[in-house]
Structures are given as structure tokens and as C-alpha cells.
A and B are shown apart, each in its own frame.
Chain A
Amino acid sequence: MYSKEVTIANDSGFHIRPAQLFSEKAATFKATILVKPNGTTVEADAKSILGLMTLGLEKGAVITIQAEGSDEEQAVTELAELVASGFGEA
């Protein structure tokens, strides 16, 4: 298992487009990937756009991306980079 913390950087948080980019990216990996907002007990399947959106993550929220599977390290690294980059939003 591999995991990493990252802060949501874009203004709109996990709105429909960021959630879509994130879940599409997550779906390219074999690993099972979870997104857990820090300080809560909820979690979402990183490959589910609906699950990600209903976490209600806004700018500044800290999340842990956790993966388990053959490509877990690459998955977590790439997804964390995507979040940190602000999904290409200004």
C-alpha cells in the first residue's frame, strides 16, 4: 500500500470537471485507489466521479490518496500531481 497527502489547489475544488479528470486518470491504473479527506472517516473510490463529487471537497482541503496494487506508487504520484497542479485551472 502506498499513500500521499495533497492539498486541493484549484478554486472550484472537486467540481464536475476536476472530478472527471481525476476519475478518468485513476481508471487508467490497475490499483484500487481511495481518496480520504483528512480529519474525516469518509472515503471515495478514486475511479468514481460521483463518489469524488459527493465528498464536497473545496479549495484548501487536504486529502490522502491511498492505493493498493501493482502500480500503486505511480498511481498515487500521478494523481497527487494532478491535484497539486490545480487541474490546469487558473
Chain B
Amino acid sequence: MTQTAEKHIQGLGVSEGVRIGKAFVYSPFRLSSETDMEKKTDHPEQELERLQTAKERCIAELDALIIRAQETLGEEKAAILKGQVSFLNDPSFYPPMQKLIQNDSWSAETAIHRTVNQVAGLFESMANEYMRERAADVRDVGSRLMAQLVSHQGNRLSDINEQVIIVADDLSPSDTVQLDKQLVLGFVTRIGGKTSHTAILANSLGIAAVLGIGDALDQIAHGNELVLDGSTGEVIMNPDQATIDVYLEKLQAEEAERERLLVYADRAAVTTDGFTVEIAANIGTPEEAEGLPGKGAEAVGLYRTEFLFMSQLEMPSEQTQYEAYRKTAEAMSGRPVIIRTLDIGGDKELPYLDLPEEMNPFLGYRAIRLCLDRRELLLTQLRAILRASAHGPLKIMFPMISGLEEWRQAKGMYEEARKQLTDEGVSMADKIELGIMIEIPSAALMADRFAKEVDFFSIGTNDLVQYTVAVDRMNEKVSYLYDYFHPAVIQLIKQVIDASNRHGKWTGMCGSMAGDPLAAPLLLGLGLHEWSMSPTAIQKVKQTITTLDRSACIALTGQILELDTPAEIRQALADFLNE
């Protein structure tokens, strides 16, 4: 046997952690084009036979999976697969496909496509959340059947039954919905950046991830041994024993560090001289809120509702939204949750909104601009949030506010939603705090005027840096300019916090700066009230804060405000923390 040589691949590390494991190369079956789905046939009897063969193969495949699932994953997972076999044998699933071929001469592909859409649609329209989720099972069966029909040698994430590193072109919410996250060691993808679905999922679940490795991905074969370092963005194929030993040591050090930090989950973030700040978490789905209190999150500082909208094939109804918001409130058991209204457009698209492509999406029709134009959209969301406010302390913030008129219009819509629900006799919280995201320099510069009207600010550093320094952070050629320690950005942050203090309001931060321990002395010095970050950063940041003296941080901040470059500021902070 020949020993394959070790190979190093460099990508973008978006979720830290060292992992060693086997590659699961995900090659899903995807429909080649929509036009394939309107295909007629001249030989219905042949199509019926193709369909029958596909069904038989599908059942054989499922039977094998069920046996494996019973051995490794437990009865619950096996029951879902058994349910899929029942779907295939169901009188309202298979016979309608046969009829479409026999009576209307549709191809087997079209017959499957139409029937699956029709049945999944039935589930999607149901009021009960559990039943709506079953639509994904129906679609999964449909894609199994379709894959057999075209003899596609693909695989499914739902088939994973051991711990693996998933290697894929890209992962969408519909890919990951059926994935057993416990079995995922890491992600490696061909495309994707820091704000992609994969990056956010990885961060919230503590899964290591290296994205954007490009065509190097083609060299990784299913089952290859991989070493992954989510901090450095390194992927090592076929590592030799020496490399494995080095990374095993790193892995053990990480685990020891994680255990050491665990004690901070239950501790408050109080400086040595008694200044307390609130530590919150950023989430994208209600599921991520579960277990957050145990990790040390005192609140949800940013609930990105766009994932709810992106994971569906059509606009989520008020009821669907209400259930998601309520579930989040309940998971946080009495701790505050800040819900950000729909922040779509830019790099996040919704197929059912059919937005035209823009030259400059980040400066275009997105977030609050879109929501104030399509009023029904925001009104529905505000109604859903208000209804859910009966189940826990919710707060609302509006994204991409650039001027006072936008804020006033958004607030007006909130009042309209509130009035509607009052008239309908629906119960909701008496008082809900309303805030705005500070991510556009114009809003930061006018913070003093906003502070008279809003209840709070939340600084989104990711966009604030992008708009202040005029740098596209996805563009590798200029990403060196992207730095939240830019003196101009720090000036803006200071201005916002000072303005909120002058008017008895508070300021939070939900960008990645809040989760960076290096920034902690500066943010303490500036007086940031609420810090919202990826759940995996919470304990580390709490530890850092508890070792700091606020008056020393204030003195340091005074010096930092006089510095000229991001590099100088980073150095000053590093020196301070090393003292």
C-alpha cells in the first residue's frame, strides 16, 4: 500500500477549533433545472417502470439505513426513516404519481416533482409546527426517489451515522435541517464567507469550520483523514503521524481551556472594581436559544430573524413567526430577547421576494428600507413579535436605520400593529423596548437626536466598519482595511455610547467586536452596557472582564483615543492585557 502524501490547503477559518476526523464528501442530488420539471413522455409504460424500479431501490436503501440507524442512532431516527418507507407505500403518494404518468403522459421526474410539492405543501400549510416540519421528510423522500430514478450516486446529510467532517460546495438551511449536529466535527466548503449560513451555524453550535477553499475541495475524497483548524483556516489532507500528534496536542489544550472556562458560565461579568455589564448571545434560530442560559448568556442580544425567512419556500406566516419567537422567549426563561426585524437584501436573498439584482446591494434596497416599502411584511412580523411578548421579555430593534424619519416610520408601524392586536383583544406585554441598530455612520453621528426617542442602541460593528471605512469585507484584496479598531470606528462607538448615557438610555453591541477579548478593555472604558456575541465566545469574554479594573480601562481608553492607526491600538490593547 502506498502512503499518500500529506497536503495542506488554506481556507478562511470562520469558526475556531481543531478537529481530526474522516471526510464526508457531500454530493447531494440537485435538480438540474426547472424546465426538467415540465417534461412529457411518449412512452408512459416505460416511465411507470422506471418509477417502480426507483421506488423498490429506494425502499431497499431505506431498509438498510433503518438497520444502521437502529444500531447507531437510536429508535427515534429509525422511526423517521420508517415513516419515509410508509410515505413511499402511501395511497396518496405513489398512486398519484402513477396517474400523472398514465393519464397525462408526464415523465417520471415530473410526476415525482409535482406530487412531492403537492403533499409537502399540504404539510406546510398546517397550523401545527411539528406537522409543518414533516414537509421536510416528504421532500427528503422525494429527493431519494428522484436520485434513484436518475441513478445518482449521491448521499444525504441525514445518512450520516458517525462523527465526520462535512466537505461540501456550500450548505443551505434546507441541507442542514435534517442533519444530526452532534455528529458533525467540522465543515469544509468550497465557497462561503464569514456571514454565510454555514459560518453562522458553525459558530452557534461550536463546530469548527474552514470555508472558501475553492477548487482544492476536489482533491478531498470521501473517507479521507482530515485535520481541520478553524482558527487558522488550515485543512490538512492525509496527515502523517507527526502532524496528527501536533494537532492532537492542540486539541487537548483546547479542551482543557474549554473546561477551565466553564466556571465562567455561572459568573456575572463584573470588573474587579465592581462595574457590571450584561453578556448576551447572538442567535439565528429558536433552537440555538436552548441551552444558552447554561452557557452563560444573560440575554439574547440579537435574534436574526432572516434565517426563519430564508429557510422557507414562501413567506412565513404570522403564526409560524409567532411560534418561533415564542419558542425563543420560552427557551430563555425570563431573560430578555432582542428581536431584530427582517434584515434581508444585500448578501441575503429571499427567492419568493423576487428582488432585482443590484449594482451595489449593500447600499441598496434592503433591511428597513425594504420593510418600510413592503409594509405588510413588517406589520406581520411586528404582530407576531407582539403576540409572542406575552411569553417573555422581548425587545425589538430595527436594522439599517440611516435617519430619524425611518425610525419614526418603523415606530409608527409598531404602534399600528399594537393597536390592531389591542382591538382584537390579544394579550401582549405592556411595554416593549424599541431600539435601532447603529451600523450606518449617519445614524452614529446623529446618535444624540436618536437617543431622545429610542430606548436603546445596538452597534453592529460588522456593517459599521464596512460603511465607515468603505471596505467590502468579502473582498480579499481589500479586507486588510477591515478593522474595528480603526480610530474612526472607535470615535463613532464612543459618540453613540455617550449619547445614550446623556439621555438615560443604554447601548449594546452585537457585532463580532463584542466577542473579541482584545476589545474588552476598550469597550469597558467606553462604558458599553450590553455585549452580545457568538455563544462560543461568552465564557472567554466573561473571564477577561472579571480580570479587568474599569478605572484602568478608562485611563487606557483615553490614551487609545489619541492613537492614529488600528495597529497602534491593537498593540496598546495587547500590551495592557499582558501586563
Given known A53-B123, A53-B131, contact A48–B90 (CB-CB < 8 A): yes
Interface residues on A, range: 10 to 19
Question: Taking the nearest CB of chain B, how far is it from the CB of A65, in angstroms?
Answer: 17
Q: Is A16 an interface residue (CB 8 A)?
A: yes
- Given A17-B79, A45-B92, A47-B91 in contact, is the A54-B122 Cβ separation under 8 Å? yes
A54 to B132, CA, bound (A): 9
Question: Are A45 and B134 closer than 8 Å at their CB atoms?
Answer: no
A16 and B83 within 8 A (CB): yes
Is there contact, CB below 8 Å, between A49 and B87? Answer: yes
Could you say which residues of chain A place their CB within 8 Å of the CB of B119?
50, 54
Q: Which residues of B contact A53 (CB under 8 A)?
A: 123, 131, 134
- The distance in angstroms between the C-alpha atoms of A73 and B90, with both chains bound, is 24
Partner among A15, A20, A45, A49 whose Cβ is within 8 Å of the Cβ of B130: A15
In the complex, chain A residues 33-52 whose Cβ is within 8 Å of any chain B Cβ: 45, 47-51
Closest to B130 in A: A15
CB of A16 within 8 A of CB of B80, answer yes
| Residue in B closest to A24 when the chains form the complex, CB atoms | B86
Judge if B127 is at the interface, Cβ distance under 8 Å: yes
Hey, which chain B residues are within 8 Å of A23, CB to CB? 86, 90
* Complex-state Cα separation, A7 to B426, whole angstroms: 30
Given contacts A16-B80, A54-B122, contact A49 B86 (CB under 8 A): yes
Q: Tell which of A12, A16, A47 has the most Cβ of chain B within 10 Å.
A: A16
Interface check B479, CB cutoff 8 A: no
> Nearest Cβ distance between residue B25 and chain A, in whole angstroms?
30
The chain B residue with its CB closest to the CB of A16 is B83
Q: Provide the bound-state CA to CA distance between A66 and B382, in Å.
A: 45
On chain A, the residues within 8 Å of B138 by CB distance are 50
CB-nearest residue of chain B to A12: B130
In this assembly, does A69 line the interface, its C-beta being within 8 Å of a C-beta of chain B? no
**Cβ A16 vs Cβ B91 within 8 A:** no
What distance in Å separates the Cβ of B74 from its nearest Cβ neighbour in chain A? 14
- Secondary structure class of chain B's binding surface, majority of residues: helix
A56 to B319, CA, bound (A): 16
Interchain CA distance A49-B86 in the complex, whole Å: 7
With contacts A53-B131, A56-B128, A56-B131 taken as known, whether A20 is within 8 angstroms of B86 at the C-beta atoms is yes
Q: A68 an interface residue at 8 Å Cβ cutoff?
A: no
Residue of A nearest to B86 (CB): A49
Indicate if the CB atoms of B91 and A45 lie closer than 8 Å: yes
**A23 and B88 alpha carbons, distance in the complex (Å):** 13
A47 to B95 alpha-carbon distance, docked (Å) = 13
Contact A50 B92 (CB under 8 A): yes
| Cβ contact within 8 Å between B127 and A16 | no
Contact status A56-B93, CB under 8 Å: no
Select A50's contact among B79, B87, B127, B130, beta carbons within 8 Å: B87
The 8 Å CB contact of B123, one of A12, A15, A54, is: A54
Q: Does B183 contact A (CB under 8 A)?
A: no
> Roughly how many angstroms separate A5 CA and B79 CA in the complex, as a whole number?
29
Inter-chain contact B127/A56, CB cutoff 8 Å: yes
Closest to B87 in A: A50
Query: Whole-angstrom distance between the alpha carbons of A54 and B122 in the complex?
Result: 7
A72 within 8 A of B: no
A interface footprint on B117-145 (CB within 8 Å = 1, 0 otherwise): 00100110011101100100110000000
Determine if B82 is an interface residue (Cβ-Cβ < 8 Å).
yes
**A60 to chain B: closest CB distance in Å?**
14
A79 to B: closest C-beta gap in Å: 16
Interface bits A56-76 vs B (CB < 8 Å: 1, else 0): 101000000000000000000
The answer on a CB contact under 8 Å between A50 and B80 is no
B119 and chain A: residue at smallest CB distance: A50
Contacts A16-B80, A16-B83, A56-B126 given; indicate if A50 touches B90 (C-beta within 8 A).
yes
Q: Roughly how many angstroms separate A45 CA and B131 CA in the complex, as a whole number?
A: 18
**Could you tell me if A20 and B83 are in contact, using CB atoms closer than 8 angstroms?**
yes
What residues of B have a CB within 8 angstroms of the CB of A17 in the complex? 79, 83
User: How far is the CB of B522 from the nearest CB of chain A, in Å?
Assistant: 52
Residues of A within 8 A of B87 (CB): 49-50
Q: State which of B90, B122, B127 has its C-beta within 8 Å of the C-beta of A49.
A: B90
Give A contacts to B, CB under 8 Å: 12, 15-17, 20, 23-24, 45, 47-51, 53-54, 56, 58
List 16 interface pairs A-B (beta carbons < 8 Å), by A numbering: A16-B134, A20-B83, A45-B91, A48-B90, A48-B91, A49-B86, A50-B87, A50-B92, A50-B93, A50-B119, A50-B138, A53-B123, A53-B134, A56-B126, A56-B127, A56-B128
The 7 A-B residue pairs whose C-beta atoms are closest, nearest first, are A49-B86, A54-B122, A16-B83, A48-B92, A48-B91, A50-B90, A50-B92
> Besides the contacts A16-B83, A16-B134, what 15 more A-B pairs have beta carbons closer than 8 Å?
A15-B130, A16-B79, A17-B79, A17-B83, A23-B90, A47-B91, A49-B83, A49-B90, A50-B87, A50-B138, A51-B90, A54-B119, A54-B126, A54-B131, A58-B128
B interface residues, Cβ below 8 angstroms from A = 79-80, 82-83, 86-87, 90-93, 119, 122-123, 126-128, 130-131, 134, 137-138
